[in-house]
């Protein structure tokens, strides 16, 4: 079936499904156990579609089907099926009326209603990449989340090898990497034919990353270094002069096969992608926003709804951002004046601090080691205080690691990777150490609190450890909730005086808050107000005083991931509003630790559902 015919068929099928749902005679609502069955079916379908998700979260194969020897299918036909399935699930959910469900099912229904509706709306845009749980990126090949960037880290950090049988599965997956890369290249070609071409600077960045990988010596390719490390753990090398064991001979044979796959299949697939993008570059514009794409304005509104779980318009979000930047800038001005820094704008004074050598780590391996040690010290301090703020603490381990070298150039400053559901893999706080001038003693503490503790590690691990939640809710994510919690966690630490002896660190906290508010301004500026890349970079540098390199990386991230950057401040804003609503309503009966349980233990939810849950909690405590 041709692509155009497939798209027409899917559109007709969707229209028919909606018509049938609207015109069918009234029927009895499906019984509650039917809803549980449907949730289980949707979960199996999503996990079957994404064996990488199943592996990353260590979902048992009984619940997810066989996944240890498979990668996600990135071919054009698979993406078409993914979009069709997202639309169908939304229609299927509408058959269940919340009033006929149990209270816990009603909560699940409300969560899925938002997620499925947002995913279905984005699935209507027949370009880019729709991820298994509904996120969307407009460009298949970019510097952010294309397979050539995500798969090396997946093999390195998420694929486990406990025996040589697992090693066979690793090799089976390795043979699927080149088809995955080629599938994305094919989809990029099809999108280009429909007028979906990334900006020239996104293409340039992506080609540079592809070239960096193909120029890396074979033995240093992440797929092989990871395989070697894991093989050595299950079939250790024998002592010099001793004959290799049968297991070791088998391991070496598997490694030799892997070398051939990387050399003869995977690296050429990278080269094919780079050749295509170089050819596409002549057709690329420099304008950065999705407004220039077919249906771009509607796409951006759909992306904002999915990323913020609000109905706020781009103009409203832009105004909120400007007001918050002004408020925080005034507070930062006072903090800087208390240090005797009175000359220039707040951004200029922050830039002076950023360049001050006393606040930088040496750009050496020793400097990087000291940075990691300092992070661990701060995390330990938070964990000692956490029982005062939380009734529930995560059981999952938390580790601090460097961002893998292959991803350093394109990655954000830091990110968190969730632990496995079964506890076999820890939560990991990744720190980008590409250049130490970007990781100052000014900003680093607040980043730690956001990404690790009490930020994303608490938020994600506690939800995963909650018994009784449907598996789908434990896997599902909502950007505004998650990033809003991370930003709220930064504020929580400040409210409890962890910066009392660190005035420079508190200025960093204020700058981080300014950054998130500025994201509202810049994201909507790029995608709705037609700001150029250069305008956005200049605004961030002037507003935050951060280095141009950081601003460039951030702006290019917003270009490739519309709407995502707006979730942080809008989510924080709502959590704080709900906390103050509870404090006013409950008075002396308000308990911060109990409030945090309400926010965290139900897993990631839309902000609208969070408001309902907090409201119900307030009512229960008042009665």
Model confidence pLDDT, tens digit, residues 235-271? 999 888 889 999 999 999 999 999 999 999 999 999 9
**Interval 322-330 mean pLDDT:** 98
CA torsion 574→561→131→400, rounded to 10°? -70
The CB-based long-range contact list for 482-485 (8 Å cut-off, 24+ gap) reads 482/456, 482/567, 482/571, 482/604, 483/567, 483/568, 483/571, 484/567, 484/568, 484/569, 484/570, 484/571, 484/572, 484/573, 484/574, 484/575, 484/607, 485/455, 485/456, 485/459, 485/571, 485/575, 485/599, 485/600
Q: What is the pLDDT of the chain when averaged over all its residues?
A: 92
Among residues 104, 571, 597, the alpha carbon closest in space to that of 394 is found at 597
How do beta strands 136-137 and 129-130 pair?
Answer: antiparallel
Q: What is the DSSP letter of 418?
A: P
Q: What is the pLDDT of residue 245?
A: 95
Per mean pLDDT, which range of 20-34, 344-358, 397-411, 591-605 is the poorest? Answer: 20-34
Q: What is the pLDDT of residue 29?
A: 53
Q: What is the pLDDT of residue 1?
A: 35
The answer to whether residue 10 scores a pLDDT higher than 50 is no
The size of the chain, in residues, is 623
Helix, strand and coil percent figures for the chain, each rounded to 5: 70, 5, 30
Whole-angstrom distance, CA of residue 14 vs CA of residue 195: 24
Q: What is the pLDDT of residue 467?
A: 84
**Interval 147-154 mean pLDDT:** 96
Per mean pLDDT, which range of 244-258, 428-442, 561-575 is the poorest? Answer: 428-442
**Residue 7: band (very low, low, confident or very high) from pLDDT cuts 50, 70, 90:** very low
The answer to whether residue 32 scores a pLDDT higher than 80 is no
**Residue 411: band (very low, low, confident or very high) from pLDDT cuts 50, 70, 90:** low
Burial degree of 387 (CB within 10 A; 0-12, 13-18, 19+): exposed
Per mean pLDDT, which range of 141-145, 148-152, 402-406 is the poorest? Answer: 402-406
Q: What is the pLDDT of residue 203?
A: 98
- Each residue's pLDDT tens digit, 181-214: 999 999 999 999 999 999 999 999 999 999 999 9
* Residue 546 near residue 511, CB atoms below 8 Å: yes
The answer to whether residue 4 scores a pLDDT higher than 80 is no
Q: Tell me the whole-structure pTM to 2 decimals.
A: 0.90
* Residue 96 near residue 66, CB atoms below 8 Å: no
* Residue 445 near residue 505, CB atoms below 8 Å: yes
**Residue 33: band (very low, low, confident or very high) from pLDDT cuts 50, 70, 90:** confident
**Interval 17-39 mean pLDDT:** 61
- Each residue's pLDDT tens digit, 328-338: 999 999 999 99
The answer to whether residue 563 scores a pLDDT higher than 50 is yes
- Each residue's pLDDT tens digit, 62-92: 777 789 999 999 999 999 999 999 999 999 9
**Residue 109: band (very low, low, confident or very high) from pLDDT cuts 50, 70, 90:** very high
- The more confident residue out of 533 and 63 is 533
* Residue 72 near residue 177, CB atoms below 8 Å: no
The answer to whether residue 23 scores a pLDDT higher than 60 is no
Q: What is the pLDDT of residue 376?
A: 95
- C-alpha separations of 39 from 12, 76, 102, 230 in Å: 26, 27, 14, 36
Per mean pLDDT, which range of 167-176, 234-243, 261-270, 576-585 is the poorest? Answer: 234-243
The answer to whether residue 618 scores a pLDDT higher than 60 is yes
Sequence-ordered list of residues with C-beta below 8 angstroms from that of 179, at least 6 positions apart, any chain: 74, 75
**Interval 268-283 mean pLDDT:** 98
Q: What is the pLDDT of residue 17?
A: 42
Sequence-ordered list of residues with C-beta below 8 angstroms from that of 257, at least 6 positions apart, any chain: 171
Among residues 568, 484, 561, 449, the alpha carbon closest in space to that of 518 is found at 568
């Amino acid at each position: 079936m041709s692509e155009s015919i497939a798209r027409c068929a899917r559109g007709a099928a969707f229209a028919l499904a909606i018509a049938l749902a609207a015109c069918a005679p009234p029927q009895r609502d499906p019984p509650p156990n039917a809803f549980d069955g449907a949730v289980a079916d949707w979960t199996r379908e999503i996990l079957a579609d994404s064996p990488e998700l199943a592996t990353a979260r260590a979902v048992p194969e009984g619940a997810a089907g066989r996944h240890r020897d498979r990668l996600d299918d990135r071919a054009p036909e698979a993406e078409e099926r993914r979009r069709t399935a997202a639309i169908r699930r939304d229609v299927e959910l509408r058959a269940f009326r919340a009033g006929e469900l149990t209270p816990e099912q009603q909560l699940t229904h409300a969560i899925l209603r938002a997620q499925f509706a947002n995913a279905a709306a984005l699935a209507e845009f027949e370009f880019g990449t729709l991820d298994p749980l509904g996120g969307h990126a407009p460009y298949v090949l970019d510097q952010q989340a294309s397979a050539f960037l995500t798969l090396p880290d997946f093999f390195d950090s998420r694929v486990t090898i406990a025996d040589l049988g697992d090693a066979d599965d690793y090799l089976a997956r390795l043979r699927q990497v080149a088809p995955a890369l080629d599938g994305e290249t094919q989809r990029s070609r099809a999108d280009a034919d429909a007028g979906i071409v990334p900006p020239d600077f996104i293409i340039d960045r992506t080609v540079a990353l592809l070239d960096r990988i193909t120029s890396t010596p074979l033995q240093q390719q992440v797929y092989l270094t990871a395989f070697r490390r894991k093989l050595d753990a299950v079939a250790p090398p024998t002592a010099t002069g001793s004959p290799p064991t049968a297991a070791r001979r088998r391991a070496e044979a598997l490694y030799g096969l892997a070398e051939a796959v990387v050399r003869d299949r995977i690296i050429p697939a990278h080269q094919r992608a780079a050749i295509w993008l170089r050819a596409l570059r002549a057709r690329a514009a420099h304008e950065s926003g999705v407004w220039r794409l077919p249906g771009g304005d509607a796409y951006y509104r759909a992306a904002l709804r999915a990323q913020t779980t609000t109905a706020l318009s781009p103009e409203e979000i832009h105004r909120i951002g400007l007001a918050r930047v002004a408020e925080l800038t005034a507070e930062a001005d006072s903090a800087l004046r208390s240090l005797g820094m009175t000359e220039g704008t707040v951004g200029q004074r922050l830039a002076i601090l950023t360049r001050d050598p006393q606040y930088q780590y040496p750009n050496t391996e020793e400097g990087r080691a000291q940075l990691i040690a300092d992070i661990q010290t701060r995390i330990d301090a938070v964990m000692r205080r956490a029982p005062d703020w939380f009734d529930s603490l995560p059981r999952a381990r938390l580790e601090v690691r460097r961002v893998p070298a292959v991803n350093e150039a394109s990655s954000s400053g830091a990110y968190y990777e969730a632990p496995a559901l079964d506890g076999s893999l820890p939560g990991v706080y990744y720190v980008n150490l590409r250049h130490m001038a970007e990781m100052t003693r000014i900003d680093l503490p607040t980043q730690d609190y956001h990404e690790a503790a009490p930020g994303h590690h608490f938020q994600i691990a506690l939800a995963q450890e909650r018994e009784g939640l449907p598996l789908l809710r434990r896997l599902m994510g909502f950007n505004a909730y998650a990033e809003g919690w991370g930003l709220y966690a930064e504020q929580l630490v400040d409210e409890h005086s962890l910066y009392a002896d660190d005035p420079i660190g508190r200025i960093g906290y204020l700058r981080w808050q300014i950054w998130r508010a500025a994201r509202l301004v810049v994201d909507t500026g790029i995608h709705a107000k037609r700001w150029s890349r250069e305008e956005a970079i200049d605004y961030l540098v002037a507003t935050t005083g951060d280095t141009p390199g950081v601003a460039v990386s951030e702006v290019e991230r917003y270009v490739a991931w519309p709407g995502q950057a707006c979730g942080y401040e809008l989510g924080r804003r709502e959590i704080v509003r709900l906390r103050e609503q509870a404090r006013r309503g409950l008075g002396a009966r308000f308990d911060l630790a109990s409030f945090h349980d309400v926010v965290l233990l139900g897993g990631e939810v839309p902000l609208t559902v969070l408001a309902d849950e907090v409201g119900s909690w307030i009512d229960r405590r008042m009665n």
